[in-house]
Amino acid sequence: MLTFSEKKFSVIYGFIVLAELITESSEDFASFHYGFKPAIVISLLIFFWMHSKTLNKNLRLITVAALLFSLVGDVLLMFVESSATYFLFGLVAFLIAHVMYVIAFLKHRNKTLNPFGFIMLLILYALGLFYLLNKGLHEMFIPVIIYMLVILSMSTSAFLRQGNAPRLSYILVLLGALFFMISDSILALNKFHEPLAYSNISIICTYALAQYLIIIGLLKLAKAGR
């Protein structure tokens, strides 16, 4: 399933994520957190750029843009304790990253596929999440609603690749989009509902896995000449 270079990168990537988990959770190594957190996306960006030369040019650049805005979002969210403004700007950065992914995924949209059932499942999920978040949103009500709609759109656009992208690419990207949704849900619950046990670990792990699956999935298009 994975090429030799992808396996080597996966090991390196795993160590970076592990290092971030350790440094983010330890006061003794807290300063290293500011290096390892952005290193997660930076490593993906470098690996993707090196191995996507045969990918469609527009798709390649859109994916790079998605990773760059994700990186900006990561950096901004590291400073939310200094000012709530960082959270809002971080939210905007990730919203743009999701829009970039939507555009990238729709390039292989299967126009004959009916996503109604999938969308209904996403709406039920979103309604349940909104029920828990509603009372704690306050001035963030509209930004969070917009963000939820965009990330649901990203998952839907990933689903719409079914039958029009290589099967492995489709599965990896769809799983990545769903893990992204889960990661953002945990982050929202932890911030607007109530603090969750080990939320820092679950957020980082699901986020890192989401980005990894999406990028590896898109690189499978390069291997297939798509």
pLDDT tens readout for residues 147-158 = 999 999 999 999
Average pLDDT over residues 34-51: 97
Let me know: does 34 contact 69? Beta carbons within 8 Å: no
pLDDT given for residue 226 in this prediction: 67
Q: Is 177 a residue whose pLDDT tops 90?
A: yes
pLDDT given for residue 52 in this prediction: 96
Average pLDDT over residues 196-216: 95
pLDDT given for residue 33 in this prediction: 87
pLDDT digits (tens, 9 = 90+) for 86-107: 999 999 999 999 999 999 999 9
Let me know: does 209 contact 16? Beta carbons within 8 Å: no
Q: What would the DSSP string read from start to end of 61-105?
A: HHHHHHHHHHHHHHHHHTTTTT-HHHHHHHHHHHHHHHHHHHHHH
Q: CB 182: neighbour CB atoms within 10 A?
A: 17
**Percent of the chain clearing pLDDT 70 (strictly above):** 98
On the 0-12 / 13-18 / 19+ scale of CB atoms within 10 A, 167 is exposed
pLDDT digits (tens, 9 = 90+) for 98-146: 999 999 999 999 999 999 999 999 999 999 999 999 999 988 999 999 9
Host H or E run for residue 166: none
Q: Which residue is associated with the tokens 């059932």?
A: 117
pLDDT given for residue 224 in this prediction: 66
Q: What is the mean pLDDT of the chain?
A: 94
Q: Is 176 a residue whose pLDDT tops 70?
A: yes
Q: CB 152: neighbour CB atoms within 10 A?
A: 18
pLDDT given for residue 225 in this prediction: 59
Tokens matching residue 89: 């700007």
- Residue 116 to residue 192: CA distance in whole angstroms: 30
From 212, 137, 205, select the one nearest 175 (Cα to Cα). Answer: 212
pLDDT given for residue 125 in this prediction: 97
Q: Is 49 a residue whose pLDDT tops 70?
A: yes
- Residue 55 to residue 65: CA distance in whole angstroms: 15
Residue 84 confidence class, pLDDT cut points 50, 70, 90: confident
Q: What is the pTM of this model?
A: 0.95
Tokens matching residue 134: 């509603």
Q: Which of 38-42, 45-49, 155-159, 196-200 is predicted least confidently?
A: 196-200
Q: Is 223 a residue whose pLDDT tops 80?
A: no
Query: Cα separations (Å) of 77 from 95, 151, 166?
Result: 13, 18, 35
**Percent of the chain clearing pLDDT 90 (strictly above):** 83
pLDDT given for residue 138 in this prediction: 87
